[in-house]
Amino acid sequence: MPLIPGAEPMRHDGSQVGVLLCHGFTGSPQSLRPWALHLADAGYTVSLPLLPGHGTRWQDLEVTGWQDWYATVDRELRVLRDSCEQVFVGGLSMGGALALRLAARHGDAVSGVVVVNPACSFPRLEGYALPVVRHLVRSTKGIADDIAKEGSHELGYDRVPLRAAHSLRDLFRVACGELAQVTQPLLVLHSRTDHVVPPADSAHILASVSSEDVTETLLERSYHVATLDHDAERIFADSEGFISRIAAGKQARDRA
């Protein structure tokens, strides 16, 4: 199937500091492209892959699972490690869960983590029903476009395939079970009002990681897709400052 215009992946070759960005469930690189471009303009090497089943039609997502999505970002991380001295990982929503799992699994190969409205839980009632309902109903209404800023739009599916949603629930279970293995510096940016992911998810992540260098930023004017919302510039600036600080610190320690 052809890609939705604007959903294309992005790669920019820059400095020896690389950044891997992971988009959210049913979304596409479009939701993170302004962030990726900002980091590219700051001189970093940036990778923003398209996850399997995304950016085309929801039926394509139906036949993928979390192992496919994770394998893609895992492969991109390894590619960045081949060309960069330091690599940071970041993500929005489900992309935040993927980024945290990369940090947990790869240890010192990841220098730091930036997550925006990270997701790590599934609504209890829907979660209990999914194993049965996914065999009876193919899809439900979409979750894309939760944005406060007028005129801003997210390229995402208008339907959520329940088979893929069931796999998403499994991803959250796996990622949450590994949060204690996250030791890298961490920046968590989350919206006060989010109609997709509850604020409790960010609180749980902050309470569960083993990172000593942790920064929490509350986004007052944005909904879930904050990277396309009123607080986007703050996300871009804070993440650039975070990456610059951590990268410079490591370079200084290496020289010493």
Give me the DSSP letters along 169-233: HHHHHHHHHTGGG--S-EEEEEESS-SSS-HHHHHHHHHH---SSEEEEEESS--S-GGGSTTHH
Active site residue 83: no
Hey, is 62 helix, strand or coil? coil
Active site residue 254: no
Catalytic residue selected from 224, 229, 230, 239:
224
Q: For residue 92, what are the CA distances in angstroms to 56, 194, 203, 206? A: 19, 12, 16, 16
Least Cα distance to 188 among 238, 121, 114, 240 occurs for 114
Catalytic residue selected from 28, 47, 93, 239:
93
CA 161 remoteness from chain centre: 20
Active site residue 82: no
How far is the C-alpha of 214 from the C-alpha of 216, rounded, in Å? 7
Tell whether 236 is in a known binding site.
no
Catalytic residue selected from 146, 194, 201, 229:
194
Tell whether 94 is in a known binding site.
yes
Residues marked as binding?
A: 25, 94
Residues marked as binding for substrate?
A: 25, 94
Q: Mind telling me the catalytic residues?
A: 93, 194, 224
